[in-house]
Each structure stands twice: as structure tokens, then as C-alpha cells.
A and B are shown apart, each in its own frame.
Chain A
Amino acid sequence: KQEVTQIPAALSVPEGENLVLNCSFTDSAIYNLQWFRQDPGKGLTSLLLIQSSQREQTSGRLNASLDKSSGRSTLYIAASQPGDSATYLCAVVSPGGSYIPTFGRGTSLIVHP
């Protein structure tokens, strides 16, 4: 059974810092991995999707990388801003899990001015 872990659970940084959020998974035979953002009381917004054949995806100040062999993905946020404050979740889709996304518990990020 696929298990997804996100470390750290919470992070507080000053504005302008470059950040790395981590996502690890136990079964390296994944189909894809997706990063989401969730604001308090809101639904999840998709940020980046990495297929199993890809190494990274970029969107603006966000860059997500995937290393299947080590069971890890990182979300890099450049030049953080207060508007980046939210909870970031990763989800892994695996053939062994009937292609149902398995979510980590998320990293709660606060960027203070």
C-alpha cells in the first residue's frame, strides 16, 4: 500500500526566501505525482503534475522535481511572498493502488512580511 509523507508539517519563513517542500512515497512504481495548494476553508488547487516519465515541471516561481528511485518529490518556491501562505499537499497515483490518488497530510506554510 502506497504511503505518502510530507515534511515538514509546518514552516514559517520571512518574505523573499527560497523554499523546499518535501514529499516522499514508499512505492516507487508511480503513475504520476501532483502538487496542490489549499487555502483555509477552500478546495484544493492543482499546481503541478509530474508524469512518471518526467523529472520536473515548472510554473512561474514553482518547480517540482521527481526522483522515483528514491521515492521523493520536492516543490521549490522561489522568492516567497505572503500570498504563498497556504497548505501544500502532494498526491501520488500508483498502479498498485487502483490508480486512486494517495495524499500526504500537507505542509502548512506561513510567509510573513
Chain B
Amino acid sequence: SQTIHQWPATLVQPVGSPLSLECTVEGTSNPNLYWYRQAAGRGLQLLFYSVGIGQISSEVPQNLSASRPQDRQFILSSKKLLLSDSGFYLCAWSSTGTGGLPDEKLFFGSGTQLSVL
């Protein structure tokens, strides 16, 4: 069966510090991978998505970046955190069918609560 691991669960970081959140998926190959952010009182905001190794699409211009060094590993990074980066970060994956289209459910990790102080 497929599983998704996301860590850490909670993170408190000072403004200006770097960030690295990691997400790994097990039990599947060539998944579509996503990073979302959920701010208090707001909906889910798509930050990045990836359809393959080294293929990253950014939805929102900001001081965050993402990388996919391996097929089932997705990393969210920042060189210098801002107060506005605080929020609940969620990694997700979906399988792909013909032509790379998402043909099944979207599965989420347990999330990382990031507080930038």
C-alpha cells in the first residue's frame, strides 16, 4: 500500500532562518507531488507541483522553492524565512495514468505547522 511521510510535524523558526521540509512517498512510482499551504482562516494555496524528477512548477512567486531530487521525494525550502511564511504546510501526491493525467485520489501527508517568530 502507498504511504506518504511528512516531517517535522511542528517547527518554530526565527525570521531570516532557513527552512527545509521533506516529504516522501512509498509504494508507488512516478507520482505527481504537491506542496500546499493553509493559513489560518484561509483556504488551501498551491505552492508547487511536480510531475517528475527535476520538474517543478511554481504557482505563487515568493521566497520559497521546491526540489525533487528523487522520484518519490519532494523538498520545500527557503533561504530566509519571513513572518508571512507561517502556516500549515501540506504535501500531497496523486498517481498518474495515461498522458500523466491524475486518475486517482489525492493523498495528503499529516502536515507541518510552521511558526516564524
Contact = CB atoms under 8 A, between A and B. Distances in A.
Given A31-B101, A99-B102, A100-B49, A45 B108 contact: yes
Given A31-B101, A93-B102, A99-B101, A44 B46 contact: no
B2 to A, nearest CB: 12
14 contacts: A34-B106, A36-B108, A42-B110, A43-B90, A46-B105, A46-B106, A99-B101, A99-B102, A100-B34, A100-B46, A100-B59, A101-B34, A104-B43, A105-B43
Given A49-B104, A103-B43, A104-B43, A42 B49 contact: no
Nearest to A106: B43
A5 to B, nearest CB: 10
Given A99-B101, A100-B49, A44 B43 contact: no
Interface of A: 31-32, 34, 36, 41-46, 49, 89, 91, 93, 98-101, 103-106
Contacts, number: 48
A101 B35 CA distance: 12
Interface string B89-117: 01010000000011011111111010000
Interface centre among A36, A99, A104 (most CB of B within 10 A): A99
B44 interface: yes
